[in-house]
Amino acid sequence: MVKINWTLISLSDLQNIFEYISEDSVRYAQMTVTKIHFRVSSLKSQPQLGRIVPEFEESNIRELISGNYRIVYEIIDNKKIDILRIYHSARLLKKESLK
């Protein structure tokens, strides 16, 4: 099993997503955050489940898709994964925004 580490910025992203969606529906905001957490939990047993982020083409930086969101993560080693960012798929992803 791999340990999942949520970086401070990824937790902030998740909070911002919740706050934005909850302006219209708290229930839908909770469902969205829950889906993201569920999707990330699949990495514990399958760390390479996500595809390589096409913008970077680095084998250790990958992403999962959950609804309209890109969950960008880095495989640190065979025991640890860092969740770097959670981006809306309509936004431009730049490497400097990952850390």
Global pTM? 0.91
Residue 99: what pLDDT?
61
* CA distance readout (Å), 24 to 19, 20, 30: 9, 8, 12
CATH architecture of 3-91: 2-Layer Sandwich (3.30)
pLDDT tens digits for range 6-34: 999 999 999 999 999 999 999 999 999 99
DSSP character at residue 44: G
**Is residue 4's pLDDT more than 80?**
yes
**Is residue 76's pLDDT more than 80?**
yes
DSSP class per residue in 66-86: ETTEEEEEEEEETTEEEEEEE
4 vs 48: CA distance, rounded Å: 13
Question: What are the sequence ranges of the domains in the chain?
Answer: 3-91
Residue 94: what pLDDT?
72
The residues near 65 (Cβ < 8 Å, ≥ 6 apart) are: 71, 89
Answer for the pair 72, 87: CB distance below 8 angstroms, yes or no. yes
